[in-house]
């Protein structure tokens, strides 16, 4: 398991990667934890399903797109971030912090799986 957080205070978001056999599950949570969106990356493609009125797609989509290069690992991504009275600036900061998190996740997966899996 690999865990880290980005951001501070109300906009701190926690990331956790867990192995499920040869596959991975990535959880992205912040504020009030819930399931707002899920994504599945498999065979070099991804699919995303959002709960009505939730915006976590914006968090999962760039991550799922990046992870399609790991075409022999199935990766489940779950995101749920809810902050009461969040401002537009705080949303922008979460999205910017997510870019940093994507880099960390990609680096972690490539370092753990580079010798055992094929990449595009």
Give the pLDDT score at 117: 57
Q: Structure pTM?
A: 0.91
In a domain, 30, yes or no: yes
14: part of which helix (H) or strand (E)?
A: strand 13-20
Query: How many domains in the chain?
Result: 1
In a domain, 25, yes or no: yes
Q: Round to whole Å and give the CA distance between 41 and 86.
A: 29
Q: Round to whole Å and give the CA distance between 51 and 67.
A: 22
Instruction: Give the CATH number of the domain where residue 97 resides.
Output: 3.30.230.100
pLDDT averaged over 10-residue windows placed end to end, the chain, 120 residues: 95 96 94 95 96 94 96 94 94 96 95 60
Range of the structural domain that residue 26 is part of: 2-113
């Amino acid at each position: 398991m690999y865990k880290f957080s980005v951001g501070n205070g109300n906009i701190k978001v926690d990331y956790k990667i867990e192995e499920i056999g040869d596959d991975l599950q990535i959880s992205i949570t912040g504020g009030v934890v819930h399931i707002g969106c899920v994504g599945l990356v498999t065979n070099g493609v991804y699919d995303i399903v959002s709960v009505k009125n939730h915006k976590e797609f914006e968090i999962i989509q760039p991550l799922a797109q990046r992870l399609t290069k790991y075409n022999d690992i199935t990766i489940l991504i779950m995101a749920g971030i809810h902050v009461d009275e969040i401002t537009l600036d705080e949303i922008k900061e979460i999205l910017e912090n997510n870019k940093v998190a994507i880099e960390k996740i990609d680096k972690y997966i490539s370092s753990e799986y580079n010798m055992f899996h094929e990449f595009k």
